[in-house]
Each structure stands twice: as structure tokens, then as C-alpha cells.
A and B are shown apart, each in its own frame.
Chain A
């Protein structure tokens, strides 16, 4: 999702947004963002609906001194629920101890300023909203100061602010809470001066998460924890092969269970299924297990991993649609075989398996509806629910619920989970329905990181550096046939499949990357760091191999190969070099592995200390160097990298693959698809951030790509083998 998804970019350009201040019934100052042409007006409705708090508010200075800040994104671990309020509160000079953060519902004003839809993706939360939240804070502050200045008959210039208090000449002071009512009548300034970075009080400082305590005492409510009066629980029996349809079903036994209310066939985003609605989860699940369904699986492709791999390998033998072609494509053929590397890589389907199983709650009231979804894609999910229910999107009040992880799985273009919930809720009009996907539904339910094959041929120059590189990538497109295709597919190449390779900062004079995107009946999706999950693995293991052949230090070799202007990459290599002195005195039987990669505008270098234990890699420690521009909350950045590295280890796990046989997914739960547990990750991950005052860049996805190649590069030293197929089943 690196490419801009400016779905509504034209719309955005023609719409001016402006802030408005108001006093509200409960008191205080409310700063809201209004759009001058509401969507409904464009649709012919001349009277835009009156918006009430909170659907367009960003900050509410309450009379009790609390400052409520709306977070325009999902919080699912990445820490925006703390970082975005920090940014606003810093410019506002708010008393941080009085700040309350809330996840905003779906509304136009909360759309990502860059993507044009309300979403979390592309590691863009801070990068895209940094300026937005700073300005919101600064403008709110300016109004409070103006109110104080009026009161004291002085100018704003004579006032200063600190900890939610305005100070004026002669020891005068007033709390924000006491100024809020007057400030609400002040015009919102068009322009405002932002702080100089040395004046930041919160930005750039390690600040503890606001959601920490409730997540430690069980009080934090996630989407799955929602409890509404008269709510029913739904589960759905999905076809065993993607796109299959219900031929007939026998629900006699299922209906006989106490607590089961309804059993009926529903259309799915792909095929059909059988929904079971019950008072509670356990009877719903038991009833589903008792259903006897005769599936029509004719006419749908029965995808098979082994078959796909064979087919992809064949495709990889020929040039695909060209992503980049620099220099002379034939240069490779002039290099003698002894100075060539031919490498073929295989990557499996991967499931995201966020800890909180997928869910959505919908209540349909005829002319309006309400939805509660832990969603990365509020705009799309709201639209889909509205479409299913025959409503306009603004008739669906959409609450963003805290999510237990996501990693891309809650950003689905066809919104298939909210869609199922809406279909069921439509039938149970007036009753809230919580749809729960069990872990089995999730593991077998598709929307995987696609299976890929890469074939790379490298010609090495006399200086040991690659002079020609021909790279073919084969894998399903994530966006073909969707509204995102126009933005993200260029020249037949889905950027999400080639990012990390086609845009490499390594300087290779004759460089050619092409891609094939076969159509396969398996739903696929962005998986945290997207194309970089496989491209970085290929690039960094091959560059390491080249460094070894050239008998050069892996860091020095990368420095030599990088373009002169690859400043961020160079900075992290230097910092890694400095901070990983331990690599020069490793215990016997240990080896060092290095990898470096830039994605989402953030550069990351990683060094790992690896040994072999029971024929598995044991990762003892990792040192990471990061350049993410200004680190808004270094404590969160450290946490993202410490843990994100662990997430990346998913790819190396012996059972880290989703495989299909005759159309059926062979894994069902964490017993067959096993992500890393505590013993699989390093005891120590020390994270070092390059000091920077440049604009902040992404930290959610960049931790993921570097760990797998770094570990495999270390393994090559221990075993002499280059591992080109993931997962690492046998060493």
C-alpha cells in the first residue's frame, strides 16, 4: 500500500476543509473540522445534515479540564491512540495528564488526509496526520490565548501557555477550562505558527501508552467484547473451497439446540454459506458443527499450493510485465557463467491471524443502522454495510472499536466480514447481531499474503559488484479487479508485488524487474509490510551472498552498492555498525546475519546473533538501527521494532505457512499454522533511532522485512547453505 490510494483525490481537491469552533450544551470549547461540500450535498441533498459531537470534532476542551481528542484511526497496537493526541496536545500545550483519547467514528472529516479514505495502512498514520494534528492543536491554543488576551486587555503576544494554563503579564493566569466558553466564540485562525522542534514538550519524548492500564486489568473493550441489549451471536459455515455454494442443508439437529434462533443461507462476498444465529456463542458454534451441508463445489477452481508453485516456476522462466528496466537487458548474457548467480525463491501463503478473531456487530433499523467494527477500513466497511442494507453510508452510524491486532487483515477491500454481519442483521431487523469468525474461519478463510515465486539472475562484475540483475516475480495481484487497481497497477504490474525490489536503492547498472500476476481462486490481502515481506528477503539474501563471494564485510559491501543519495539507508548502516560491536566477538557456534531495507520511507538495519539448536535457528539477540525521521514517541517506536521483528519471524517458523490441497486449506488453527511464541524470538532486541528532525515516517510495517533475511544470512554462515524457500521447514 505504498502507492497512494487517492480514491477520492479529485473530490478532496475540490473540497475545502475548515475548522470551526463552537460551544456545546455540555460546555467547553469544541473544535471541529467542517467540509464545505458534504457528500450528501453532492448527491443532490441541498441541506447538509446537522453534525453533532462527535462526528466532526477533533478536540473538546471540557469545563472540567479534561481535553478529549478524537483519533482518526483504528488503534490495534501501533500506538496512534497515544501518539496522535501527543502531537495535538504538544501544540496545544495541554496538561497531558488530563488528555482523554477516543477512537473516532466513521466520518468524512476523519479520512486520511493523503489516502482520502478513513483507514490505517501503508504505515501512514503519523506520516499523514502529523501536520494535521499539530495544526489542530496550535489553532485551538490560539483561540484560548485570544480569549485570555481579551479578558486581560492585552495582546496574544503577551501571553504564553503551559499545562493547560494561559499566563499573561503581571502574574495573570487562566485555566483552559475556564477560557473554553469564551474561546468558542473566537474565529479559528487560518494560519498559525507551529512550534520549533526544540520547544516540543511531548513530541520526541518517551511517553507511556494511554491504553496500557485498561489492557492490563481486563477493562479495555475490543470489538469482540461488545455487549448490547438483546444482542444475538452469529457464526457462518463457509464453503470448504473458496467460492463454493450451498446446494442444500439439513439444520434439524442444529435447530434443536437450546438458544439457537435462526439458521439460513446467506450470500458471501464469494459463494454462499449458512448463518447460525443464537443467544450466545457456544450454542451458535455447536449448532454450526451439527449442520449437514451439501456444497456445490463445481465450477470453482480447486487451488493447490504444490501445483501453483510448479506453475509459477514455469512462469518465472519468462519475462513478465516490466516494472523497471534500466541499462541493457542483454548485459547479463555477456557475463560468463562462473560469474553468475541464478536463484529461485518460494514463499507460501501467510495468514495474519490477529489475536482478536474477526468480528462485526450490526443493527438494522429499517431507515438507518448502527455498526461496531474493529476496522482498518472504516470508509469501505461503512459503504459496504450501507449497500447491503440499501442505505446511504451516512445512515450507518459506524463506531470504530479497539482491535486485537490486524496487520492488514482488517483492511479488506470487499469488507467481507462486515458484509456478512449486515446480511444477517438485515434479516433480524431491530436486533443487534455480533458476527464472530472463529479461529478456524480465520485460518481457513483466505485473504492471505499471496504465494510467490521469484527468479533472479545476477551477473557479477570483475569488482565483485552486481553489474546485471534480471528479476522475475510471480504472484497474485492484491488489487486487480478492485477500485484500487487504477491507482496501484501500472503497466500490468501491481506495485505491492514488486515494491522493495523494483525501487531498490542498490545501484545496479543493468537492472530489470518484471512480474506475472496469475489469477487464482484464493483471496489475497496485504500482510504487514506487504510486498516487502518477500522482496526484502530476496534482495537482502542475494546481496549478502554477493558480499560473501566478494569477501567483503556485509555492511561495507552494502555501503559500496548503495546509491549516493540513499541517506537514510546509509545512516542506519552506520548506526548499526556502531551499535553492534558485539558481532566481532561471538561465541563459538554462533554467526552474525545482517540485513537492511527501506520501506514506507523508513530505513532499518538489523544484525542478529544466531546459533543452531535442534536443527532450528536460535536467535539470541538482535540490534536494530532505524531512521524514521522524527520519532514522535520513541518508546512506541522502540516497541514497534522490538515486537515487529518478532512478527517477521512468522515467516521462518516451521509451521509458518498456509497450504492448499485440492482447494482446501490444510491448516485449521494455531496447531497447524504456528506463529512465534516467546522462545522463538530473541531475548534482547536493542533498538537505536537515528536522531532526526525530518518529517516522521512509518513505523508499523518497516520492522517486519529485515529479520528473516538477517537470520537466513547467519544460517548460511553456520551451514554453508543458502535458504531460498520459506518457511524454514528443514535446515
Chain B
């Protein structure tokens, strides 16, 4: 067991966990932030996507010991960023969700995409969102919501 200092959604947190513990489980079980989801544990579904230093990251395969002092943003804090809020609003406006379990990860990936590329093409969307599985397959509306958020950026 070891102590780690993390910055999550702008707040300093301290956790005492095994160094191999993936960031996902630190968020969910130690920090009680369950918006970030476990879907596969092998970075194959994207349900656990968070931003580490602004980069969309699969938190299920990143040991907490590798985070260092890089800031973490999760679905619970993404609305602090105007882009995050816009994307969430677009998701609600387009009535995207079904079961909703993957949508935290979808939104985190979409926010990262739009920050890097405010006017993504369909192909850009497929590349950036290509690792986020939605078993309900709400992809048509996910795509619409990303385009809608993109339009509101101008």
C-alpha cells in the first residue's frame, strides 16, 4: 500500500492503495466517484474514459502510480469546462442515451475530440470515438450530438 496525491476535477485528493490499482477503481471505490464506468478492464470499450492532463485516457489500465501530478478530469467535473457543458447539453438535446452506462466515456471522448478538432468530419468522429463501445448502439445520435455541439462552437 502506498499514498498517492491526485488532482481530480481541480480538487486535491489523497488515497492509500496498492500501487497497481487502476485509476478507474481508485475513482470508483476510494473517491466514490462512480460516474466513470468499468466495462472491460482491458481498454477495449472506453466506458472508463477520463482526461489525464487533457488527454482522453482509459482509466481501467492506468495504474494510479503512473498518474503523478497530472490533473484528472472525470464526467463529474467535465461541466466545469464550457466545452464539457456544451457536449453534455447536446447529448440531452439529442436524447442520445439509452441504458446510459457507456455515455460518461462517450462524452469524455467527444470533449477531447472537439477540443482538438472543433469541426470534425464523419471520419474524424469515427477515428476518435472508435474505441468507445455502446452496446445499445446509440451511435447515430452520438454522432448527431457531436455535430450539434460542434456547430455551437462557432
Beyond A404-B37, A635-B95, whether A355 also contacts B141 by CB under 8 A is no
Contact with B along A671-688 (1 / 0, CB 8 A): 100011111011111000
| A211, A281, A407, A649: most-surrounded residue (chain B CB, <10 A) | A281
- Chain B 105-154 residues near chain A, CB threshold 8 A: 107, 122, 125-126, 129-143
- Chain A 579-612 residues near chain B, CB threshold 8 A: none
The residue on A at minimum CB distance from B30 is A280
In the complex, A311 has a CB within 8 A of chain B: no
Task: List B contacts of A78 (CB < 8 A).
Answer: 98
Are A685 and B140 in contact, CB atoms less than 8 angstroms apart? yes
Pairs across A and B, CB under 8 Å, 7 listed: A77-B100, A216-B91, A222-B37, A355-B133, A404-B102, A669-B41, A669-B42
Task: List A contacts of B125 (CB < 8 A).
Answer: 678
Name A's interface SS: loop
Are B135 and A644 in contact, CB atoms less than 8 angstroms apart? no
Measured CA separation A358–B113 after assembly (Å): 31
Are A357 and B38 in contact, CB atoms less than 8 angstroms apart? yes
The residue on B at minimum CB distance from A443 is B40
Task: List B contacts of A671 (CB < 8 A).
Answer: 42, 44
Q: Which 9 pairs, one residue from A and one from B, show the smallest C-beta to C-beta distance? A: A218-B35, A646-B137, A404-B101, A215-B100, A77-B99, A77-B98, A218-B75, A225-B34, A670-B44
Measured CA separation A86–B98 after assembly (Å): 17
Are B132 and A677 in contact, CB atoms less than 8 angstroms apart? yes
In the complex, B29 has a CB within 8 A of chain A: yes
Are A224 and B38 in contact, CB atoms less than 8 angstroms apart? yes
Beyond A218-B35, A280-B29, whether A683 also contacts B140 by CB under 8 A is yes
In the complex, B66 has a CB within 8 A of chain A: no
Are B133 and A670 in contact, CB atoms less than 8 angstroms apart? yes
- Chain A 616-650 residues near chain B, CB threshold 8 A: 635, 639-640, 642-647, 649
Task: List B contacts of A403 (CB < 8 A).
Answer: 99
In the complex, A217 has a CB within 8 A of chain B: yes
Measured CA separation A647–B140 after assembly (Å): 12
In the complex, A76 has a CB within 8 A of chain B: yes
Partner of A355, one of B79, B92, B102, B131: B102
In the complex, B12 has a CB within 8 A of chain A: no
- Chain A 396-446 residues near chain B, CB threshold 8 A: 402-407, 438-440
| A221, A645, A679: most-surrounded residue (chain B CB, <10 A) | A679
Partner of B126, one of A233, A645, A678: A678
A227-B34, A678-B126 given; 8 more Cβ-contact pairs under 8 Å: A211-B100, A212-B92, A217-B79, A224-B38, A356-B99, A642-B141, A679-B126, A682-B140
Are A678 and B107 in contact, CB atoms less than 8 angstroms apart? no
Task: List B contacts of A224 (CB < 8 A).
Answer: 34, 37-38
Are B103 and A643 in contact, CB atoms less than 8 angstroms apart? no
Task: List A contacts of B41 (CB < 8 A).
Answer: 438-440, 669
Contact with A along B49-63 (1 / 0, CB 8 A): 000000000000000
Q: For chain A, which range describes its interface: under 10, 10 to 19, 20 to 34, or 35 or more residues?
A: 35 or more
Task: List A contacts of B44 (CB < 8 A).
Answer: 669-671
Are B133 and A646 in contact, CB atoms less than 8 angstroms apart? no
Partner of A283, one of B18, B79, B133: B18
In the complex, A693 has a CB within 8 A of chain B: no
Q: Return A205 CB to nearest CB of chain B, in Å.
A: 13
Task: List B contacts of A357 (CB < 8 A).
Answer: 38-39
Task: List A contacts of B95 (CB < 8 A).
Answer: 208-209, 212, 635, 639
- Chain B 54-109 residues near chain A, CB threshold 8 A: 74-76, 79, 88, 91-92, 95-104, 107
Are B137 and A644 in contact, CB atoms less than 8 angstroms apart? yes
In the complex, A354 has a CB within 8 A of chain B: yes
Are B101 and A356 in contact, CB atoms less than 8 angstroms apart? yes
Are B76 and A218 in contact, CB atoms less than 8 angstroms apart? yes
Are B21 and A405 in contact, CB atoms less than 8 angstroms apart? no
The residue on B at minimum CB distance from A635 is B95
Measured CA separation A488–B133 after assembly (Å): 34
Beyond A355-B39, A404-B37, A677-B132, whether A639 also contacts B99 by CB under 8 A is no
Interface residues of A (CB under 8 A from B): 76-79, 208-209, 211-222, 224-225, 227, 233, 258-259, 280-283, 286, 353-357, 402-407, 438-440, 635, 639-640, 642-647, 649, 669-671, 675-679, 681-685
Task: List A contacts of B133 (CB < 8 A).
Answer: 355, 670, 675, 677
Measured CA separation A433–B135 after assembly (Å): 27
The residue on A at minimum CB distance from B138 is A643
Task: List A contacts of B134 (CB < 8 A).
Answer: 355, 643, 646, 678
Are A353 and B97 in contact, CB atoms less than 8 angstroms apart? no
Beyond A282-B22, A677-B131, A678-B125, whether A217 also contacts B40 by CB under 8 A is no
Are B32 and A407 in contact, CB atoms less than 8 angstroms apart? no
Are A282 and B37 in contact, CB atoms less than 8 angstroms apart? no
Q: Return A598 CB to nearest CB of chain B, in Å.
A: 22
Measured CA separation A258–B28 after assembly (Å): 18
Measured CA separation A402–B88 after assembly (Å): 20
In the complex, B8 has a CB within 8 A of chain A: no
Measured CA separation A126–B133 after assembly (Å): 28
Are B99 and A405 in contact, CB atoms less than 8 angstroms apart? yes
The residue on B at minimum CB distance from A633 is B95
Task: List A contacts of B36 (CB < 8 A).
Answer: 218
The residue on B at minimum CB distance from A672 is B44
Beyond A216-B88, A677-B132, A678-B143, whether A281 also contacts B137 by CB under 8 A is no
The residue on B at minimum CB distance from A354 is B135
The residue on B at minimum CB distance from A220 is B100
Task: List A contacts of B17 (CB < 8 A).
Answer: 282
Measured CA separation A647–B21 after assembly (Å): 33
Task: List B contacts of A208 (CB < 8 A).
Answer: 92, 95
Task: List A contacts of B132 (CB < 8 A).
Answer: 677-678
Beyond A218-B75, A677-B132, whether A282 also contacts B122 by CB under 8 A is no
Partner of B143, one of A212, A286, A683: A683
The residue on B at minimum CB distance from A644 is B137
Are B107 and A216 in contact, CB atoms less than 8 angstroms apart? yes
Measured CA separation A675–B44 after assembly (Å): 11
Q: Return A174 CB to nearest CB of chain B, in Å.
A: 33
Beyond A216-B91, A646-B137, A683-B140, whether A639 also contacts B98 by CB under 8 A is yes
The residue on A at minimum CB distance from B25 is A282
In the complex, B33 has a CB within 8 A of chain A: yes
Beyond A356-B37, A669-B41, A678-B130, whether A215 also contacts B103 by CB under 8 A is yes
Partner of A643, one of B18, B34, B137: B137
Q: Return A96 CB to nearest CB of chain B, in Å.
A: 15
Q: Return A386 CB to nearest CB of chain B, in Å.
A: 28
Are A405 and B34 in contact, CB atoms less than 8 angstroms apart? no
